[in-house]
Structure 1
Amino acid sequence: MKYNPMDMMVAWMKVASSYNMMMLSAAEVIARRTMMMASGAMTAPEAMGMVMEKATIYATASERAAVAAANGADPARITAAALKPYSTKTQSNVRKLRS
């Protein structure tokens, strides 16, 4: 399948932008959770959720990437499909930890 180079460039720029926003959110989540652990304020459910969310998000991201690939999506869209669950979760964690 042939892709228009400009369309691909735009698609990869969107992926890069989403990735950067996700990484900023993840850094804030890590900082806030580290402060909670250091001060003894982290609850057991928060600690367990912190561990369990990794496997859940990985499975969801893998599934979305596989579905996108099976539907013939281009590499940028497959990557975006895999990135979306991580972005959603990190943004959710930031909102929860800020309150």
Structure 2
Amino acid sequence: MTNNPMNMMFEWMKVASSYNRMTLSAGEVIARRMMMMASGGMTGPDAMGMMMEKATIFATASERAAVAAASGADPVRITAAALKPYSTKTQSNVRKLRR
């Protein structure tokens, strides 16, 4: 990435757009899981998986951000690296829960 302010703004806007998609997916996942819990449709293994995925994704995101930082990536790339595992998982959860 260059130090051109317009390029930096464009790169941060891509990160912001990805973050917005992730938060929309997360909101849908929360709503669908709440409906499952309220209706008694969530199994014990589902609930445990729901809890365990948080720690796993946090560890993966932290590792990816650390690797990006250690390799000299700029703040945009470090942020994108940390966000990617969360985005991937929330989109995967939405697809799974929509079935």
Q: What TM-score do the two structures reach when normalised by structure 1?
A: 0.96
2:71 match: 71
Q: Which 4+ runs in 1 deviate beyond 6 A?
A: none
**How big is each residue's C-alpha offset from its partner over 1:55-88, in whole Å with a ceiling of 9 and x where there is no partner?**
0000000000001111111111100000000000
Q: Distance in 2 between matches of 1:77 and 1:3?
A: 14
Q: Distance in 2 between matches of 1:8 and 1:72?
A: 16
Give how far 1:7 is off. 1.6
**How big is each residue's C-alpha offset from its partner over 1:19-50, in whole Å with a ceiling of 9 and x where there is no partner?**
00000000000000000000000011110010
Identity %: 83
Give how far 1:3 is off. 2.1
1:44 match: 44
Quick check: 1:29 aligned with 2:29?
A: yes
How many positions carry a matched residue from both structures?
Answer: 98
Q: Distance in 2 between matches of 1:4 and 1:73?
A: 16
1:80 match: 80
User: Structure 2 counterpart of 1:30, which letter?
Assistant: I
Structure 2 spans left out of the alignment, 5+ residues: none
